[in-house]
Chains A and B, each alone.
Chain A
Amino acid sequence: MSEKALEASELKTLPSWQPFEWIVALRFLGEGRTQTAFIISGVALGVAVIVFMSALMAGLQSNITKSVLSGQAHIQLQPAKETVRPLRSSNSTLAVGAVVEGAIIQTPLQRIDSIDQWQSIMVQISEIPDVLVVSPAAKGSALVVRGNTSQAISINGVKPDLYFQIIDMTDKMVSGTMDLTGSDILIGIELASDLGVSLGDKIRVTMATGADNTLTITGIFDFGNKTANSQTTYVALRTAQSLLGMVGSVSVLDVNVKDIYAAETIAQRIEASTGVQADSWIKNNAQLFTSLGAQQSSNTVIRLFVALSVALGIASVLVVSVVQKSREIGILRAMGITRGQILRTFLLQGGLLGLCGSIIGTARWAVGFVRFYYWFCDGRGWIIDLDANANR
C-alpha cells in the first residue's frame, strides 16, 4: 500500500452530506445533460402555461368583480315586497277561513317603502364581525328639469361619510367634491352633458308627487357606464327623504363585508336575524357568477390536462431513462444496492426534474408569457377599450 493512496487530503471524494440516492440521481442527470435540459424545458413550459392560465383567470375575475362591485354594495337590505293575501271565505256556504277559489289576484303596486326600525337594525348589523360598514339610503325616481329639458333620474339620498366607504368615488370624480349638504347634488358626466350644466349650476328636481327642490351641482362623476352616468345622482339623505316624502325613514341599508365571497352567507344570516330582505351582490349577479364559474371550470380542465401531459412527459422520460440505465441498474443490483434504493434514485430524478422545471417555469416563463400577452394582445388596453366602447 503506497503512501500516496492513503493521503486523504489528495482524495477527491463524494460530498458527505449527500445520501447515496442523491449522488447517483444527480450524476445520472448530469451525465445525460442534454436530455435533462430538454425535460426541464418541457416541464418549465407546461408549468408556465398553468401559471399563465391561473394568473390570467385570477386577473380577469378580479377585474370583473372589482368592476361589478365598484357601483354597488356587497349586500342591500330592502323592505320585503308587498304581496297579495288570498281572499278567504266569510260566509256560511264555505268553511269560514277557506281560500276562495277562482278569485282574481292582482299583483300590488310596489310603493317606496321604508325599513322599520332601521336605526336599530343598522346597529345590529354593524355589530356583526364580518361587516365593514353599513350605510342608510333613501332611493327613488325623479325628473330633473332645466329650462325646457327634463330627464328621468334616480335619486340616491346618502350619508356621504358612510356611503362613500361603500362606493369609492375618489377615482370616479371628474370635477368637484364628494361633500353633500342640504342643497347639493352629484351628477354623472352624461347627465351633465345632456343638460349642458357644469359645477355650480342649479337644477330643479321634481318628484311625481309634485314635491321639488332646486339643487346646486357640487360634483360630476364618471362610473365608466353610460346608463349610470346619465341617471344616477347623489344628494344628502335628508334632502332625499324630504323629496321622497319619507322623512326620518330609509328605503335601503347598504352593507359592505370583509370577504366579498361570503356576502351571500352573511346576507342570509342578516335576513334571518332582522326579517328584512337582504340581497347579496352574488345573488344579484347570479348570471355573471355562473359565467365566471364556467370559465373557472374550463380553465381548471385545461390546467389539469396540461399538468397531466407534463406529468406523463416526465413519467415517459423516466421510463426511457430506466430502460437506458438498465445496464447501470444491473451493476448496482449486483453490488448489493437494494431495489428500494434504485427506485428512490429514479423517483428523485423525476422529482428534481419536476422541481427545477417548476421553478424555472414559474419564475422565467411566466414573466415572459405575461410580457408576450401584453405585447401581443394588449390585454390591459383591451379591457379599458371595452369600457370605453360601452360609454360611447
Chain B
Amino acid sequence: MDKLEAKHNTNDVVLKMQNVRKSFNTGLPNEVEILHGIDLILKRGEFCAVVGPSGSGKSTLLNIVGLLDRPTEGSLSICGEETTRMDDHALTRVRGHNIGFVFQFHNLLSAFSALENVMMPLLGEAEFPNKEMTERAAMLLDSVGLTPWRDQPAYQLSGGQQQRVALARALAMNPALLLADEPTGNLDTKSADAVFELLRKVSREQGMTVLFVTHDPSLAARCDKTIKVVDGKVVDDKEVDDKVVS
C-alpha cells in the first residue's frame, strides 16, 4: 500500500482505501464477504471508471466510498479524514460536504421541482431557504442546460433531463468526490453521451474527482483510469479485458 500511496502527493489524495473488506451476516453461518481487501487511491481531478460484471461488488464499493455503508475491516479516508471510526453524524457531515451522488434510477424527489431538487443539499445544510442558494441552484441548472425546465416538477422531466438535474444537485455542495453509479445506464446513447461529457467537463473545470460505475466499455475507455472489480477484488486498469465488461 505504501508504494501505491507514494505515487501521490498527500494533499491531492481525495480517496484512500486500504485493505477494505465488507462482509454481510457477520458472525452468522451464512456470512459472506463481498469485498476482499480493496486498496484504492484517487487524486484530485481524476476521472475513474469502475467496471466489472454484475454481482462483483461495484455497488457495495460505491456505498462504502459514499459513506452510506461501513467497511467490516480496513480504513477509508475522504479528503484526508479517516472515516472508519466516525459516528453517524460526522459521516453525514463528510458525505454532505465532500461527496456528491448520481444514481442510475430514482434520482430526484418527485414532490419538488428541478430547481428545488438542486437546492435540497444546500437547504439541508442551511436549514432555511435563502436567495443565495436559489441563485446557486439556478446557476447549476443553467450549467447543465436546464434553465427552461427549472420550475417543472421532477417527474415531468425526461430521463436525460432528470440525470442532468441529479448532476446539478450533486454539484451543489461543490464536492471533492463525485460518485456516479451507472448514471447513463438508463439513457439512450445520445443522452448517455451528453451526460458523460457533462461529467467530464465538470471534472476538468472544477478539478473534481469522479468515480464512475459503468457497463459501457466505450465510456470506460474515455476515462482517465479504469479499475475493474471482479469477485470483490480490484484488478489494475492495465489488466482490463473489454470483453468481460458487458
Q: Which residues of B contact A337 (CB under 8 A)?
A: 92, 96, 120-121, 124
CB–CB B92/A11 < 8 A: no
Q: Which residues of B contact A15 (CB under 8 A)?
A: 129
Q: Determine if A208 is an interface residue (Cβ-Cβ < 8 Å).
A: no
Give the nearest-CB partner of A30 in chain B. Answer: B111
Q: Determine if B246 is an interface residue (Cβ-Cβ < 8 Å).
A: no
CB–CB A16/B129 < 8 A: yes
Q: Which residues of A contact B129 (CB under 8 A)?
A: 13-16, 18, 23
Interface locus among B10-18, B131-139, B194-202? B131-139
Give the nearest-CB partner of A21 in chain B. Answer: B127
CB–CB B128/A333 < 8 A: no
- For B113-155 the 0/1 string (1 means CB < 8 A from A) is 1011001110111011111001100110111000100110000
CB–CB A336/B134 < 8 A: no
Q: Determine if A288 is an interface residue (Cβ-Cβ < 8 Å).
A: no
Contact residues of A between 41 and 56, Cβ < 8 Å to B: none
CB–CB A19/B127 < 8 A: yes
CB–CB A336/B173 < 8 A: yes
Give me 25 A-to-B residue pairs in the complex whose CB atoms sit less than 8 angstroms apart, sorted by A's number: A5-B138, A5-B139, A6-B135, A8-B131, A11-B115, A12-B115, A12-B151, A13-B119, A27-B109, A27-B111, A31-B111, A327-B106, A330-B68, A330-B106, A331-B106, A331-B109, A332-B120, A333-B68, A333-B92, A335-B101, A336-B92, A336-B95, A336-B97, A336-B124, A337-B96
Q: Determine if A151 is an interface residue (Cβ-Cβ < 8 Å).
A: no
| Complex Cα–Cα for A335 and B107 (A) | 11
Given A5-B138, A331-B109, A339-B92, 7 more pairs with CB closer than 8 A: A2-B147, A14-B123, A31-B110, A330-B106, A331-B103, A336-B95, A336-B96
Q: Which residues of A contact B110 (CB under 8 A)?
A: 31
| Least Cβ–Cβ distance between B128 and chain A, in angstroms | 6
Q: Determine if A338 is an interface residue (Cβ-Cβ < 8 Å).
A: yes
Q: Which residues of B contact A20 (CB under 8 A)?
A: 123-124, 127-128
Give the nearest-CB partner of A16 in chain B. Answer: B129
CB–CB B88/A1 < 8 A: no
Q: Determine if B169 is an interface residue (Cβ-Cβ < 8 Å).
A: yes
Find B121's partner among A2, A18, A336 (CB 8 Å cutoff): A336
Q: Which residues of A contact B138 (CB under 8 A)?
A: 5-6, 11
- Given A18-B129, A23-B129, A327-B106, A334:B68 Cβ within 8 A: yes
Q: Which residues of B contact A335 (CB under 8 A)?
A: 96, 101, 120-121, 124, 169
Give the nearest-CB partner of B97 in chain A. Answer: A336
- For B40-64 the 0/1 string (1 means CB < 8 A from A) is 0000000000000000000000000
| Complex Cα–Cα for A30 and B109 (A) | 13
Number of A residues whose C-beta is below 8 Å from B? 34
Give the nearest-CB partner of B148 in chain A. Answer: A4
Q: Which residues of B contact A12 (CB under 8 A)?
A: 113, 115, 151
| Least Cβ–Cβ distance between A44 and chain B, in angstroms | 24
Q: Which residues of B contact A376 (CB under 8 A)?
A: none
Q: Determine if A328 is an interface residue (Cβ-Cβ < 8 Å).
A: yes
CB–CB A338/B89 < 8 A: yes
- Given A14-B119, A327-B106, A28:B111 Cβ within 8 A: yes
- For A76-98 the 0/1 string (1 means CB < 8 A from B) is 00000000000000000000000
- Given A2-B147, A5-B142, A28-B111, A332:B124 Cβ within 8 A: yes
Find A339's partner among B88, B108, B112 (CB 8 Å cutoff): B88
- Given A19-B128, A335-B101, A335-B121, A14:B116 Cβ within 8 A: yes
| Least Cβ–Cβ distance between B194 and chain A, in angstroms | 18
| Complex Cα–Cα for A338 and B151 (A) | 26
Q: Which residues of A contact B147 (CB under 8 A)?
A: 2, 4-5
> Which of A6, A332, A338, A339 gathers most chain B CB within 10 Å?
A338
Q: Determine if A375 is an interface residue (Cβ-Cβ < 8 Å).
A: no
Give the nearest-CB partner of A28 in chain B. Answer: B111
CB–CB A11/B135 < 8 A: yes
| Least Cβ–Cβ distance between B62 and chain A, in angstroms | 11
CB–CB B92/A338 < 8 A: yes
| Complex Cα–Cα for A339 and B96 (A) | 12
Q: Which 3 A-B residue pairs are closest in the complex by CB-CB distance?
A: A336-B96, A5-B142, A27-B111
- For A22-41 the 0/1 string (1 means CB < 8 A from B) is 01000110110000000000
- For A140-176 the 0/1 string (1 means CB < 8 A from B) is 0000000000000000000000000000000000000
Q: Which residues of A contact B95 (CB under 8 A)?
A: 334, 336
Give the nearest-CB partner of A335 in chain B. Answer: B121
| Complex Cα–Cα for A372 and B207 (A) | 71
Q: Which residues of B contact A309 (CB under 8 A)?
A: none
| Complex Cα–Cα for A30 and B141 (A) | 25
Q: Determine if B183 is an interface residue (Cβ-Cβ < 8 Å).
A: no
| Complex Cα–Cα for A67 and B159 (A) | 74
Q: Determine if A341 is an interface residue (Cβ-Cβ < 8 Å).
A: yes
Q: Determine if B232 is an interface residue (Cβ-Cβ < 8 Å).
A: no
CB–CB B115/A27 < 8 A: no
CB–CB A13/B134 < 8 A: yes
- For A100-132 the 0/1 string (1 means CB < 8 A from B) is 000000000000000000000000000000000
Q: Determine if B66 is an interface residue (Cβ-Cβ < 8 Å).
A: yes
| Least Cβ–Cβ distance between A332 and chain B, in angstroms | 7
- For A335-350 the 0/1 string (1 means CB < 8 A from B) is 1111101000000000
| Complex Cα–Cα for A13 and B113 (A) | 10
Q: Which residues of A contact B222 (CB under 8 A)?
A: none
> Which of A8, A28, A30 gathers most chain B CB within 10 Å?
A8
| Complex Cα–Cα for A99 and B95 (A) | 94
Q: Which residues of B contact A1 (CB under 8 A)?
A: 139, 142-143
Q: Which residues of A contact B115 (CB under 8 A)?
A: 11-13
Q: Determine if B204 is an interface residue (Cβ-Cβ < 8 Å).
A: no
Q: Which residues of A contact B116 (CB under 8 A)?
A: 14
